[in-house]
């Protein structure tokens, strides 16, 4: 099951740049996204040039944020946060299997001290096909294990709150998000990872996204990202205070 055009339109509408797009530009973007599902399913080309052009690591520890549109738009909305070694590698609409495919290129090959993995919204939405919670958990476990065997500390970001997904009308999402977040918190504790609780910082008291901090009930607006930044700062500091995992001896490392 491929991502429905409706999901792609919803993503375009959520973009801060959407207001400047004509219907023809949105249609062209949706067509390009549909073609990419056949030619570059995980969108490996999205950051390939940026990865290659990264300057040598400075004194600041390198922290990579891999995720979906919530991570991608964070860099767009608050670029000043992504300085001093912080690298945004979010791609709108992506699911955990797509992130897993590009994890070596967009995370491991950049040799960060820390990676934040924030994913699951689009798994629940079935953007690349129906997925169970167990399948999402397995993909996150695999990304965590890959990071740790390469000596990278892990932050597991909670799935932000939502009461609905506009591109999946009628889908029950709040309970699914809360269940996956409970698993993420417990799994972080078991693996020595850090849990970044964005859900608690953004929810409205009923499991939805606080209305004045979101543009559509799923994606933060700039003020919403301002609530996320202190959570991220604390998580980064906590992760860096931990010893780096001992990397395994890997022949092609």
Structure tokens at 122: 């689009």
Element at 227 (helix H, strand E):
helix 222-241
Query: Where are the domains positioned within the chain?
Result: 5-241
Q: How confident is the model at residue 32 (pLDDT cuts 50, 70, 90)?
A: confident
User: At the top level of CATH, which class does the domain 5-241 belong to?
Assistant: alpha beta
**pLDDT for 7:** 41
Task: Report whether 194 contacts 234 (CB < 8 A).
Answer: no
pLDDT digits (tens, 9 = 90+) for 88-115: 999 999 999 999 999 999 999 999 999 9
Averaged pLDDT for residues 186-192 = 98
**Banded model confidence at residue 251, pLDDT cuts 50, 70, 90:** low
Q: What values do phi and psi take at 203, rounded to 5?
A: -80, 160
DSSP E strand stretches across 81-137: 86-90, 114-118
Give the pTM. Answer: 0.89
Token readout for 119 is 């994913």
């Amino acid at each position: 099951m491929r991502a429905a055009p409706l999901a792609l339109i919803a993503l375009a509408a959520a973009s801060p740049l959407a207001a400047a797009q004509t219907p023809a530009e949105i249609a062209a973007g949706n067509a390009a996204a549909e073609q990419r599902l056949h030619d570059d399913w995980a969108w490996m080309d999205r950051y390939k040039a940026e990865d290659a052009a990264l300057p040598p690591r400075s004194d600041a520890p390198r922290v990579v944020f891999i995720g979906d549109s919530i991570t991608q738009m964070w860099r767009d909305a608050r670029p000043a946060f992504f300085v001093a070694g912080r690298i945004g590698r979010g791609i709108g609409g992506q699911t955990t299997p797509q992130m897993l495919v590009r994890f070596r290129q967009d995370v491991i090959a950049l040799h960060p001290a820390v990676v934040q993995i924030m994913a699951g919204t689009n798994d629940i939405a079935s953007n690349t096909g129906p997925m169970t919670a167990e399948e999402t958990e397995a993909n996150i476990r695999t990304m965590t294990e890959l990071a740790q065997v390469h000596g990278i500390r892990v932050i597991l970001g909670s799935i932000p709150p939502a009461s609905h997904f506009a591109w999946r009308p009628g889908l029950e999402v709040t309970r699914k998000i809360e269940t996956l977040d409970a698993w993420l918190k417990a799994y972080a504790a078991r693996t020595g990872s850090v849990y970044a609780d964005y859900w608690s910082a953004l929810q409205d008291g009923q499991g939805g996204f606080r209305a004045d901090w979101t543009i559509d009930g799923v994606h933060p607006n700039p003020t919403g990202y301002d609530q996320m930044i202190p959570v991220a700062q604390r998580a980064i500091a906590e992760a860096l205070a931990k010893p780096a995992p001992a990397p395994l001896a890997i022949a092609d490392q």
